[in-house]
Amino acid sequence: MKNHISIAFLLLLIVSWLPWTGATAQNNTYRFSLDVGSVNNDQITVTLLTPPVNGSTAVYRMPKIIPGTYAVSDFGRFIEDLKAFDTKGKPLKVKQIDPNGWQIAKANKLGKITYKVNDTFDADQGDVPVYPMAGTNIQDQKNIVVNTHGFFGYFEGMENLPYRVEITKPAEFYGSSGLIPESTSPQKDVFATANYGLLVDAPIMYNRPDTTTINIAGTQVLVSVYSPNGMVTSGYVAKSLSNMLHAIKDYLGGDHLPVKKYAFLFYFVPPAESSRMQGALEHSYSSFYYLPEYPQEVLIPFIVDVAAHEFFHIVTPLNLHSEQIHYFNFSKPEMSEHLWLYEGSTEYAASHVQVQYGLITPDEYLNKVRDKIVNATQYYNDTLPFTVMSRGSADVYASQYQNVYEKGALISLCLDLKLIALSGGKYSLRKLIADLSGKYGKDKPFKDEELINDITALTNPEIGKFFAAYISGNQPLPYSDIFNLAGIDYIAEETYSDFSIGGNASIGFNPQTYHLTIQEIDETNTFSRQMGYQPGDELLKINGKEIDLSDMENFFKNATASLKDGDTMRVVVLRNGEELELKAPASRMDKKRYHQLRFNSAPSQKQLAVRKVWLQAPQLATYDIAIEKVATIDSIVSNLYQSVSGVLEGKDWNSLRALCKPDARLISVAANTSGQHNYRNYSLNEFIESAQQSALVSFFEKETGRTLEQFGNIAQVMSAYESREQVNGPVVSSGINSIQLVYENNRWWVVNILWDSASPDNPIPAKYKKK
């Protein structure tokens, strides 16, 4: 979770069902029904036709806690008016024995239970708040969030029986889920699972659909969005998630993703109405997100980070987990001591995959790491042993739980760098987790107390010492030593001078206008007084530039970068509905910053080798291109044509990868077989995947002419081409490749390629045919 959940690890079993009436024998299946279109008093009624129950009494339970949240939720609090009936419809005596349990008399005659469900989103939760990403929502004719653990329960000792859930719905509603329905129609969905754990593992969201489905190497990925004000759309989110998922596929070292279907379910809430807790909850084949409804351009970097984290839970704990998770007790759970693995390693991988595959830059990645160090050391107990915290995360150390996303990720980072350095670049945390998954797996849990010894045996005694000191022990992580392995300088604290924008004023955010605001003024600060700020001022422009909320860090850095002593600082504010320009002489302030990370300008060859393995994708880190192939524009363009030509089956695409920046885009507007020009925008990996799936046996492309425009370190090549399906075969197409290049690190790189095909109506101009 990013306040998450991963729940069940068994295969889905579709079970048969026969309609039940009072005159029909019971079968050994829980048979639930509810109507999400029938809401009364903000409640939905649930009906359960029970399996046969032995004994004079039975206890029906809702979960106290669910895996991944690692916090007490007491979902029984939201159940009202629970009634039980025998097989002839006569009432049975029911007594609530604790917040989540109801004892039913004459259980051997039990045939049906009914109760009303209150949602958690707008409930008074008292001192035991429910993470909203694990919660339920009932908005009549708008949105119903069926986090299944909030609607359906189980009889003690009978959690492993099959479940069947029949959901009646308005015709205009669509039920988004990672669980494939047994049957579906405009009015009804029927879901079936092999046991309670698998049911809890499958949230369902009902509303008027805004969905987009994308195909990632054979995996159908559903992106479903509920955005009440239309500020976020599934198509926009899906486009960014597509790049991330392609990177994850390569990061995991395969030609496909670990699952055949996955669903991202996004619930966006206006900020003024949202819970202070926000985030996501992972499941085996889906993840559910509760996020504030800001403009999608502002949210998307955060969405990608969180979605990557959730998706990586397919690796752990789905395929690698302890007995505590495998045999989870929903009423009296025992916590595992390895949250550094379940949450920390997934959080680490979520950012690490982005830097390795060019979705973020190395400097951006170090900034993310720095933020985690700041949070881990400033807001949490840095000397509390992480294994101890993990075991007590549901109770005594609940206040420390969020550190799994900070220090937990940093533990994984440290382990990764140590493993790379100790193995000379041949072993890493990713390979360690793969080896552990091979030894154990989703159906074979490990023993909590044996995992560290297993890891030490697989790796190096030094790793065992690291666990003893920094994970099981109480020593703070040795950041300086760890980052030095990759030639990165760690500065715990430093003083610097910079121009001030607010003059120590407290800055807030107005969720209604999406503007930064002045909250409090430091009356002792000369610059603040000279600017004339007032509490409530909304910041619109700084030095003539509109504030960019999607990249605030770089915006503020650039806003003051060109200032010199004696210049004027100009800030446009909105005050009482009127725009005002405030100005004052630019003023420097001495500031402190902590936990800085910087690439060493003169690293050793050993440090560079570790850094290369750590920060570059394996495809690039293991492929060394001869410098003469990229030393000149002519050489890189010539080798570009060679890299895309040849027999496609089994082709080594590393030559193309080595020519291109990892985040290069390859964009086609060429005509298809029917003559239609279609815009297709590929990442490097998407282009290679498309070529691998092509029906062509071979493909050869030859340059027939070009023009070149160059300025400094950038160049634009308009390159005419001819394509053939055999090396000496007839020309099947021709056109122009528009190739953008950049010169960096003593070589040329392909940044983008945009191509269009020629036709009688769109011939290649003569100027491009000249060599």
What pLDDT shows up at residue 1? Answer: 57
Nearest to 1 by CA among 555, 393, 356, 432: 393
What pLDDT shows up at residue 146? Answer: 98
Structure tokens at 377: 């050391």
The answer to whether residues 277 and 298 belong to one domain is: yes
Residue range 475-502: mean pLDDT, rounded? 93
- Whole-angstrom distance, CA of residue 454 vs CA of residue 457: 5
CATH number of the domain where residue 153 is located: 2.60.40.3650
**Helix or strand run (H / E) with residue 287:** strand 286-292
Q: Provide, rounded to the nearest whole percent, the portion of the chain with pLDDT above 70.
A: 95
The answer to whether residues 412 and 530 belong to one domain is: no
* Confidence at 560, pLDDT banded by 50, 70, 90: confident
60 touches 101 (CB < 8 A): yes
* Confidence at 673, pLDDT banded by 50, 70, 90: low
CATH number of the domain where residue 750 is located: 3.10.450.50
In this prediction the pTM is 0.74
C-alpha torsion sign, points 611, 613, 618, 624:
positive
Average pLDDT of the chain is: 89
Name 597's bridge partners: 490
Residue range 481-488: mean pLDDT, rounded? 98
What pLDDT shows up at residue 740? Answer: 97
Looking at the 3D structure of the chain, how many domains does it have?
Answer: 5
Q: Would 677 be classed as within a structural domain?
A: yes
Lowest-confidence region among 61-65, 556-560, 641-645, 765-769? 556-560
Q: Would 25 be classed as within a structural domain?
A: no
Listed in sequence order, the DSSP H helices in 134-233 are: 196-200
Residue 350 neighbours by CB under 8 Å, 6+ apart: 305, 306, 308, 309, 312
Say if residue 729's pLDDT is above 80: yes
Q: Is the preceding peptide bond at 181 cis, omega within 30 degrees of 0? A: no
145 touches 167 (CB < 8 A): no
Residue 273 is given by DSSP the state G
Lowest-confidence region among 43-52, 344-353, 392-401, 429-438? 392-401
Say if residue 21's pLDDT is above 70: no
Q: Which amino acid is at 136?
A: T
Owning domain of residue 262 = 211-313
Q: Would 13 be classed as within a structural domain?
A: no
Q: Would 233 be classed as within a structural domain?
A: yes
The values of phi and psi at residue 61, to 5°, are -130, 145
670 touches 676 (CB < 8 A): no
The answer to whether residues 526 and 543 belong to one domain is: yes
The answer to whether residues 279 and 383 belong to one domain is: no
* Confidence at 394, pLDDT banded by 50, 70, 90: confident
What pLDDT shows up at residue 498? Answer: 83
Structure-model confidence comparison of residues 528 and 305, the more confident one? 305
Residue range 19-27: mean pLDDT, rounded? 45
The answer to whether residues 196 and 328 belong to one domain is: no
What pLDDT shows up at residue 82? Answer: 98
Say if residue 153's pLDDT is above 80: yes
Q: Phi/psi zone of residue 691: left (φ > 0), alpha (ψ -120 to 50 degrees), beta?
A: alpha
Structure tokens at 362: 């190395």
The answer to whether residues 640 and 702 belong to one domain is: yes
Indicate the residue among 164, 189, 208 that finishes a domain. Answer: 208
Q: Would 621 be classed as within a structural domain?
A: no
The answer to whether residues 50 and 199 belong to one domain is: yes
- Whole-angstrom distance, CA of residue 534 vs CA of residue 523: 11
Listed in sequence order, the DSSP H helices in 185-285 are: 196-200, 234-251
The answer to whether residues 518 and 390 belong to one domain is: no
What is the bridge-based pairing of β-strands 183-184 and 660-668?
A: unpaired
Write down how long the chain is: 771
Say if residue 540's pLDDT is above 50: yes
Structure-model confidence comparison of residues 514 and 621, the more confident one? 514
CB atoms near residue 236 (< 10 Å)? 17
pLDDT digits (tens, 9 = 90+) for 197-231: 999 999 999 999 999 999 988 899 999 999 999 99
Render 64-76 in DSSP notation, one character per residue.
Answer: S--TTT-S---GG
407-422 and 362-379 are packed helices; what angle lies between their axes, rounded to 10 degrees?
Answer: 130
Say if residue 141's pLDDT is above 60: yes
pLDDT digits (tens, 9 = 90+) for 107-134: 999 999 999 999 999 887 777 889 999 9
Residue range 303-308: mean pLDDT, rounded? 94
What pLDDT shows up at residue 496? Answer: 86
pLDDT digits (tens, 9 = 90+) for 439-452: 998 889 999 999 99
3-state secondary structure of 308: helix
What is the bridge-based pairing of β-strands 143-146 and 137-139?
A: antiparallel
Q: Would 14 be classed as within a structural domain?
A: no
Q: Is the preceding peptide bond at 317 cis, omega within 30 degrees of 0? A: yes
Residue 118 neighbours by CB under 8 Å, 6+ apart: 42, 43, 78, 79, 80, 138
Residue range 613-637: mean pLDDT, rounded? 81
The answer to whether residues 470 and 329 belong to one domain is: yes
pLDDT digits (tens, 9 = 90+) for 171-202: 999 999 999 999 999 999 999 999 999 999 99
Say if residue 737's pLDDT is above 50: yes
Nearest to 427 by CA among 458, 404, 401, 400: 458
Listed in sequence order, the DSSP H helices in 616-736 are: 618-621, 633-644, 654-659, 684-692
Q: Would 582 be classed as within a structural domain?
A: yes
Please write down the HEC assignment for all residues of 27-45: CCCEEEEEECCCCECCEEE
Vertex 579 angle, CA 574 and 585, to 5°: 90
Q: Provide, rounded to the nearest whole percent, the portion of the chain with pLDDT above 90.
A: 65
Q: Would 729 be classed as within a structural domain?
A: yes
- Whole-angstrom distance, CA of residue 187 vs CA of residue 171: 5
3-state secondary structure of 655: helix
* Confidence at 622, pLDDT banded by 50, 70, 90: very low
Nearest to 289 by CA among 179, 137, 65: 137
What pLDDT shows up at residue 621? Answer: 47
The answer to whether residues 479 and 532 belong to one domain is: no
Say if residue 526's pLDDT is above 90: no
234-251 and 345-356 are packed helices; what angle lies between their axes, rounded to 10 degrees?
Answer: 90
Residue 113 CB-density burial (10 A; 0-12 exposed, 13-18 middle, 19+ buried) = buried
Lowest-confidence region among 141-150, 491-500, 627-636? 491-500
The answer to whether residues 225 and 308 belong to one domain is: yes
Structure-model confidence comparison of residues 505 and 404, the more confident one? 404
Nearest to 377 by CA among 567, 188, 594, 558: 594
The answer to whether residues 258 and 151 belong to one domain is: no
Listed in sequence order, the DSSP H helices in 231-344 are: 234-251, 296-312, 323-326, 339
pLDDT digits (tens, 9 = 90+) for 237-280: 999 899 899 889 888 887 788 889 999 999 999 988 876 688 89
What pLDDT shows up at residue 292? Answer: 93
Indicate the residue among 155, 176, 208 that finishes a domain. Answer: 208
Indicate the residue among 455, 485, 515 that finishes a domain. Answer: 485
pLDDT digits (tens, 9 = 90+) for 73-98: 999 999 999 999 999 999 999 999 99
What pLDDT shows up at residue 620? Answer: 52
What pLDDT shows up at residue 554? Answer: 76
* Confidence at 358, pLDDT banded by 50, 70, 90: confident
Say if residue 489's pLDDT is above 50: yes
pLDDT digits (tens, 9 = 90+) for 575-613: 999 999 999 998 888 888 899 999 998 999 999 999 999
Structure tokens at 233: 């759309």
CATH number of the domain where residue 364 is located: 1.10.390.10
Structure tokens at 17: 């069902």
491 touches 470 (CB < 8 A): no
